[in-house]
Amino acid sequence: MAFRIWPDFMIHFILWSTFLMSLSSGILLLCFQMPATDAVGVCLIAFSIGNGLYACWVTRRIKFCSKILVKSLEPVSKFSDLNLPTYYMLAAGFLWMSMWIFGVIGALNFYFPPLVIIGLVLSLAWTTEVMRNIVNLTVSRVIALYYLRGMQSSTRFSFQRALSRNLGSACLGSLFVPTIEALRILARGLNLLKGEDEFMFCCANCCLRLMDFIFEHGNGWAFVQIAAYGKGFVRASQDTWKLFEDEDMVEIVDADITSSICFLTGICSGCVCLIVAAAWTHTVYKPFTATISLLAFFIGYLMTRISMALPHACVGCYYTCYAENPESRFFEDKVIKTRQDMIKSGRVAVTSTTPRVRRALA
């Protein structure tokens, strides 16, 4: 709700509140002076440092990202029931997580409890990602049809379609998109660290080209065309990326930080849950402080990720629908066109996610 009402303020708020919350939760766990809480606390403090560096690095992108978020959320007010799918999925997620916790407790009686618990954690992460993408597909269909055809589609019908015809694509995308994104970030990090070593140079370029090829065949931008046209996940990914290339939008969408903001929102919420749970558990059930704190963090993160599906989907629709029909009356303000002209003229330097890739491929 805060993102819909104050989108510009919330981007700045999340970038720095996540830094503060992760730092605070890390310091709190270190204060308990137990091996398990110390390990988690060090990880959170390291993450907060990286978060702070990232917030400084993307400063030049924030203004444009805010403009896109504000513009993309404008159609939401025309659909009074567009928030309902999010509420349904949050309720379903709450019920599923409540049962999942009993499963984790029961896993302690198995022969290999750590392996069973890791499997349950991965299963829950995938399940909630499917729930998030169901909301994503519902919102994407409603907003995309509004941009492309000027029609007000039924939210209820779009939700039913996401739960039936598009469910397979939601499950497939939920499995592959996070994995592909993580591997792509890893390849980019390798590209930044390769230095002048010839072996590292070859490995970095090979990994980066491979991940870019895979990304073109499976990416999160595909959900708009899946929702609007009923395409399969791979074909929708290919067609969407081709649209971006044809309209010279690859640099712009590659530098978009909306997905990072949604991720950090989940981390911030998880840290708040961790602080509350850790303070209570340390007083009542001290030996379980680290375990319950991690569970609280994980559940808070996943629930918030579901709730952030709506603004994320709106931004995806704005980019994809502009690429498909840039002359539409809904894009008369020329926000993206102006950005492209500024990049071409050199007035704006896009902080590339892989600063040395052009040199590497030259």
Percentages (nearest 5) of helix, strand, coil residues in the chain: 85, 0, 15
3-state secondary structure 30-44: HHCCCHHHHHHHHHH
Q: How far apart are CA 135 and CA 322, in angstroms?
A: 21
- Give me the pLDDT at residue 181, please: 81
Q: Where are the domains of the chain?
A: 1-345
Q: How far apart are CA 18 and CA 332, in angstroms?
A: 35
The answer to whether 238 and 219 have CB atoms below 8 angstroms apart is no
Half-sphere exposure of 24 (CA within 13 A, CB side): 18
The answer to whether 308 and 315 have CB atoms below 8 angstroms apart is no
- Give me the pLDDT at residue 353, please: 47
Report, in angstroms and rounded to the nearest whole number, the Rg of the chain calculated over CA atoms.
Answer: 21
- Give me the pLDDT at residue 186, please: 72
Q: How far apart are CA 278 and CA 289, in angstroms?
A: 6
- Give buried/exposed letters for 200-239 (b at 16+ CB in 10 A, else e): eeeebbebbeebbebbbebbbbbbbbbbbeebebbebbbb
Question: What are the φ and ψ backbone dihedral angles of 325, each rounded to 5 degrees?
Answer: -145, 80
- Give me the pLDDT at residue 309, please: 94
Report the candidate in 159, 174, 146, 173 with the shortest Cα–Cα distance to residue 72: 146
Contact partners, residue 240, CB within 8 Å, separation at least 6: 219, 221, 222, 224, 225, 320, 323
State whether the Cα torsion 179-181-187-190 is positive or negative.
negative
Q: How far apart are CA 192 and CA 188, in angstroms?
A: 6
pLDDT tens over the chain, length 362 residues:
888 888 888 999 999 999 999 999 999 999 998 988 999 999 999 999 999 999 998 888 898 999 999 999 999 989 989 999 999 999 999 999 999 988 888 887 888 888 888 899 999 999 999 999 999 999 999 999 999 988 888 999 999 999 999 999 999 999 988 888 877 777 666 666 655 556 666 776 777 777 778 888 888 899 999 999 999 999 999 999 999 999 889 889 988 899 999 999 999 999 999 999 999 999 898 888 988 999 999 999 999 999 999 999 999 999 999 999 888 888 877 888 888 888 887 766 665 444 434 433 33
- Give me the pLDDT at residue 358, please: 40
